[in-house]
Structure 1
Amino acid sequence: MGIEIVWTQKAVETFGKRIAYLQEHWTEKEIFNFTARVNEYLETLQTQPLMFRKSVRIKHTHIGVIIKQVSLVYRIKPKSQRIELIAFIDNRQNPRKNKS
């Protein structure tokens, strides 16, 4: 197993927004591949939580690219041995909107 992963409400909302956008612009196969990639990414996080880029602004927070268009912001909670998924961000947005 590995470290427990917890989805915050914002992570659930932003994941839903990314899927909704993909449904408008991508095929079902591409959406399936994206969700499979997210699952692979989360499995990697459980065993190697420090693998992805550390945020320069927020302590214990990391950012990892899932696909070219979408990244995941997550926080490692060392005391509780958990990873909190904070948000799925659109990499094409203005970086000032992403406060990580």
Structure 2
Amino acid sequence: MSYSIKWLPEAEITYALVIEYLEENWTSKEIDCFFDRTDEVINFIAQNPRQYIYSKKKDVFRAVITKHISLYYRIKSEEIELLIFWDTRQDPENLKV
């Protein structure tokens, strides 16, 4: 069973911020690798959303995109809601999921 993917506004904004940072500090090859890895992880999530780390306290899952970027998402019946892309170097107290 494949779940549909829904990008919430916060996920769209934080993804754009990650891309903006990469464009300022990295090469186009590295940016392409990030795009590919993100697509790969989202496809994995759509196929088997429970394969990633689950937080019972917040009722969300965390998928690692790179060592510095994680994607938080929630399962809603037959849909996956992408919540936020999070730079793991930030203060976790600021994470609002």
The TM-score range, normalised by the shorter chain, is: over 0.9
Number of aligned residue pairs: 97
TM norm structure 1: 0.92
Q: Following TM superposition, by how much is the alpha carbon of 1:99 offset from its aligned partner in structure 2, in angstroms?
A: 3.3
Q: Following TM superposition, by how much is the alpha carbon of 1:64 offset from its aligned partner in structure 2, in angstroms?
A: 1.1
Equivalent in the alignment of 2:94 = 97
Where do 5+ consecutive residues of structure 2 fail to align? Answer: none
Q: Following TM superposition, by how much is the alpha carbon of 1:43 offset from its aligned partner in structure 2, in angstroms?
A: 0.7
* 1:49 matched to 2:46: no
Separation in 2, partners of 1:94, 1:58:
17
Q: CA RMSD in A?
A: 1.1
Structure 1 runs of 4+ aligned residues shifted over 2 Å read: none
TM norm structure 2: 0.94
Separation in 2, partners of 1:57, 1:24:
36
Separation in 2, partners of 1:32, 1:69:
16
The equivalences for 1:59-74 within 5 A come to 59=59, 61-74=60-73
Where do 5+ consecutive residues of structure 1 fail to align? Answer: none
